[in-house]
């Protein structure tokens, strides 16, 4: 084969690898989202549970990068191994649902038989998650070092080739994120999406195996490959890693450990702030994650051409300082979101998704673009021109970057944001990146120039920090809540909670979303939601409320004579915020018959051995991100199984449109053998036994001084008022709702509402049947 033919052959083979890397990158992000969702069903959505899942996943990636780097020294067929590992990843993804079910069973057994200590259970979650995800995540993390160690990357400028690999792999991650978040899960559900991604992954791996075997039989001549490599080396900038001392190369490695730490920590800070500006939907979070990946993809894509002209420590120092400064200015850019949207709306018209895209782009794209630009440059400096050990060195580089990212994510979620808040956390993280740029400048420049660099960088950083790091909540208040005054705000590891005054009412916001207020209409409805179950049950002694919110529902319930209530709330700061609404919630936080647990409500139902006379939940819109876990057949089955004999569950059923309402009621009916509708059909009461009402017992309560304020608070002052609350019996509901799709963990249809067919009918009169209360009176 001629030298020109060998060069063309290498380029065509590299193009094939790029396509495969794009596909497997997409599959990897699909897996990540599906694994996180599946594991949250068992382990919960507390920050501790989610953090352990992410730590196990990224830990596997880091281990895979390190291990593959060592493997690359011992194999001369890295592309073949890459293909084998991708086939294995796909095969393991197919059996992942089974393994996750097994892990869930072990977790439930351990909690019930050994201990219910939160610290111990957090460790158990990590061990089980690591056990399930270790092998597939390790295989996924092995890809980059294996490909870098192949002859395909010894025949061209390493930085340019790594930039292309990193760009297409991250670009594939963008495709996987958007496809699964916007369409696949909504269309097919979790299991079918797993299967499709796995089959695509296996196909890509098989192509790599076949191609590697073919390339082994038709290989470019060693002489031609050597000449190409020599030519590439002469084209590389003189300031590449070849001219760096081992100490300076270690500084480069340390820089990217800091970079990995800061990148994932900044994601936590950015996401916590963005939710204050945006809708709380799975689509908003999909756009946020995709924006981070798009920035990295774009930066990596342009790194190749840039590295052909500029490289070395000076360039890396400049990029690191730029990353820190753009991160520092990100809250200022975010605060301009509404101005950009208003101007665009005047021209083209915009919607809520446009707001998400603009806010995410303004806040995160500049910094993530520079992060993507820095990675290939760092690899080139760390590896140098010794291509024979490139796989091992890239494996070390990747492992350090990812492992530090785990620490960054955990520290930001558990320490930085709860202790310092998002604004100070942003400043600290940005300064860390700027500091690495200064350290690199001292290694690259003569001391007088390094002093000038340091002084100029410090001055610019101070200027940006003073003028371009606003309190983002000021912008939120001005644009989203005009006329309201902030009374109290706090961050914890789970969420951001604020109490604001709007006229005569207090309003609670959780992550910028309305949670509760003290307006008479809102208080009346929530009190009814808490009072109805104790009014229907003949002798309520124990109750479970999933979610505290403003506390009005459990507060109303807690006034029932002789009842003890357990409230399970995700956020400790929501509990503190509810104290401000004490007049409306009857001081529920400090009532002696109310126990408040900071935990995941569904996880509590999964693990508890307690049985309750009454179970209800706070008003949580089914379209909110993650809400599908509390709007599914499996969730209601957990609640049904936690009922004591004769117990009832009350479920709020929003009546936004006919399609969604029927789906909710149909799902509830599929779980509970006996269901009645109340309050115009907006509240469903389900039980394992027939639901009957004894008029004499109701009249007795109405005459009881202990019960009179409880019932009178919601307008139940006589039998006719009580009977007027009733809407429909079980038979009428089943006849009216009919057959059709239901909500399940696998198919969270309402959370992924954009994939549902349009409901052009709106709310139809007659959707809720009406029946007289006589149909459920006891004989």
Token pair, residue 205, equals 């791996």
Measure Cα distances from 689 to 640, 645, 749 in Å.
11, 8, 29
Classify residue 447 as exposed, middle or buried by CB count within 10 Å of its CB (0-12, 13-18, 19+): exposed
Going by C-alpha positions, the residue among 682, 686, 655 that lies closest to residue 670 is: 686
**C-beta of residue 114 within 8 angstroms of C-beta of residue 236:** no
Q: How far apart are CA 332 and CA 496, in angstroms?
A: 19
Beta-carbon neighbour count of residue 704 at 10 Å? 12
Q: What is the 3-state secondary structure (H, E, C) of 7-48?
A: HHHHHHHHHHHHHHHHHHHHHHHHHHHHHHHHHHHHHCCCHH
Helix (H) / strand (E) element for 651: namely strand 643-652
Q: Is the dihedral of CA 262, 265, 267, 270 positive or negative?
A: negative
Q: Which of 491, 618, 730, 745 is catalytic?
A: 618
Contacts of 402 (CB under 8 A, 6+ apart): 58, 61, 62, 65, 141, 260
Token pair, residue 272, equals 């916590």
Beta-carbon neighbour count of residue 388 at 10 Å? 10
Phi, psi of 650 (to 5 degrees): -110, 125
**C-beta of residue 608 within 8 angstroms of C-beta of residue 533:** no
Check if 539 is active-site: no
How does DSSP assign 435-504, residue by residue?
Answer: HHHHHHHHHHS-HHHHHHHHHHHHHHHHHHHHHS---HHHHHHHHHSTT-EEEEEEE-SS-EEEEEEETT
Distance of CA 308 to the CA centre of its chain: 38
Helix (H) / strand (E) element for 669: namely helix 658-671
In 73-184, which residue ranges form alpha helices assigned H by DSSP?
78-113, 118-141, 143-148, 158-179
Phi, psi of 645 (to 5 degrees): -55, 130
Residues in the chain: 779
What's the count of helices (H) and strands (E) in the chain, helices before strands? 29, 12
Q: Which residues are catalytic?
A: 618
């Amino acid at each position: 084969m001629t030298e020109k033919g060998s060069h063309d052959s290498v380029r065509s083979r590299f193009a094939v690898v790029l396509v495969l890397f794009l596909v497997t990158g997409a599959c990897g992000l699909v897996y990540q989202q599906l694994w996180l969702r599946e594991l949250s069903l068992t382990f919960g959505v507390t920050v501790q549970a989610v953090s352990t899942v992410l730590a196990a996943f990224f830990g596997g990636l880091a281990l895979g990068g390190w291990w593959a780097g060592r493997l690359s020294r011992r194999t001369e067929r890295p592309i073949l191994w890459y293909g084998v590992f991708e086939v294995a990843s796909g095969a393991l993804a197919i059996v992942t649902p089974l393994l996750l079910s097994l892990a869930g069973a072990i977790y439930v057994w351990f909690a019930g038989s050994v201990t219910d200590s939160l610290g111990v259970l957090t460790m158990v979650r990590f061990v089980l998650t690591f056990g399930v995800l270790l092998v597939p995540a390790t295989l996924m993390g092995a890809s980059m070092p294996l490909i870098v160690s192949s002859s395909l990357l010894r025949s061209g400028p390493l930085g340019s080739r790594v930039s292309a690999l990193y760009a297409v792999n991250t670009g594939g991650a963008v495709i996987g994120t958007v496809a699964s978040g916007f369409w696949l899960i909504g269309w097919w559900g979790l299991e079918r999406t797993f299967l499709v991604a796995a089959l695509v992954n296996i196909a890509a791996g098989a192509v790599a195996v076949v191609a590697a075997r073919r390339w082994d039989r038709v290989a470019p001549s060693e002489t031609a490959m050597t000449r190409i490599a020599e030519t590439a080396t002469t084209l590389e900038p003189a300031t590449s890693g070849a001219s760096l001392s081992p100490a300076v190369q270690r500084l480069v490695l340390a820089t990217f450990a800091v970079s990995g730490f800061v990148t994932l920590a900044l994601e936590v800070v950015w996401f916590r702030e963005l939710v204050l500006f945006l809708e709380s939907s799975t689509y908003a979070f999909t756009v946020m994650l995709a924006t981070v990946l798009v920035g990295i993809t774009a930066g990596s894509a342009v790194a190749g051409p840039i590295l052909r002209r500029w490289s070395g420590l000076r360039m890396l120092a400049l990029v690191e300082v730029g990353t820190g400064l753009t991160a520092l200015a990100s809250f200022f850019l975010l605060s301009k979101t509404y101005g950009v949207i208003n101007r665009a709306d005047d021209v083209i018209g915009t919607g809520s998704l446009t707001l998400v895209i603009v806010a995410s782009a303004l806040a995160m794209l500049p910094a993530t673009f520079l992060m993507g630009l820095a990675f290939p440059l760092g690899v080139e400096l760390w590896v140098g021109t010794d291509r024979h050990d490139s796989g091992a060195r890239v494996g070390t580089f990747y492992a350090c970057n990812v492992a530090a990212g785990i620490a960054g994510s955990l520290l930001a979620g558990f320490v930085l944001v709860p202790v310092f808040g998002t604004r100070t956390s942003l400043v600290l993280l940005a300064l860390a990146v700027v500091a690495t740029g200064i350290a690199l400048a001292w290694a690259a420049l003569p001391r007088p120039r390094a002093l000038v660099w340091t002084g100029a960088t410090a001055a610019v950083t101070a200027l940006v920090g003073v003028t371009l790091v606003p309190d983002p909540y000021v912008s939120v208040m001005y644009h989203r809540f005009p006329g309201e005054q902030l009374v109290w705000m706090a961050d914890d590891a789970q969420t951001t909670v604020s109490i604001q005054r709007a006229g005569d009412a207090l309003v609670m916001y959780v992550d910028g979303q309305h949670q509760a207020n003290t307006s008479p209409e809102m208080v009346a409805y929530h009190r009814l939601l808490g009072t109805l179950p104790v009014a229907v049950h003949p002798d309520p002694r124990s109750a479970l409320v999933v979610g505290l919110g403003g506390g009005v529902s459990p507060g109303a319930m807690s006034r029932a004579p002789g009842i003890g209530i357990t409230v399970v709330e995700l956020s400790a700061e929501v509990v503190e915020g509810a104290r401000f609404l004490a007049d409306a919630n009857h001081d529920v936080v400090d009532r002696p018959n109310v126990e408040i647990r900071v935990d995941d409500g569904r996880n509590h139902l999964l693990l508890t051995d307690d049985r309750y006379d009454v179970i209800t939940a706070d008003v949580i819109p089914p379209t909110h991100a993650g809400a599908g876990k509390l709007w599914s057949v499996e969730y209601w089955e957990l609640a049904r199984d936690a009922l004591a004999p004769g117990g009832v569950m009350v479920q709020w059923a929003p009546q936004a449109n006919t399609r969604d309402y029927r789906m909710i009621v149909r799902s509830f009916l599929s779980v509970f053998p006996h269901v009645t509708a109340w309050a115009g059909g907006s509240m469903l009461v389900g039980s394992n036994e027939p639901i009957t009402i004894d008029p004499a017992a109701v009249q007795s309560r109405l005459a009881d001084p202990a019960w009179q304020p409880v019932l009178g608070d919601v307008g139940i002052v006589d039998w006719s008022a009580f009977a007027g609350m009733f809407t429909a019996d079980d038979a009428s509901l089943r006849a009216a709702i009919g057959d059709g799709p239901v909500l399940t963990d696998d198919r969270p249809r309402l959370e992924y509402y954009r994939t549902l067919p349009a409901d052009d009918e709106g709310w139809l009169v007659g959707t809720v049947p009406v029946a007289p209360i006589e149909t459920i009176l006891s004989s």
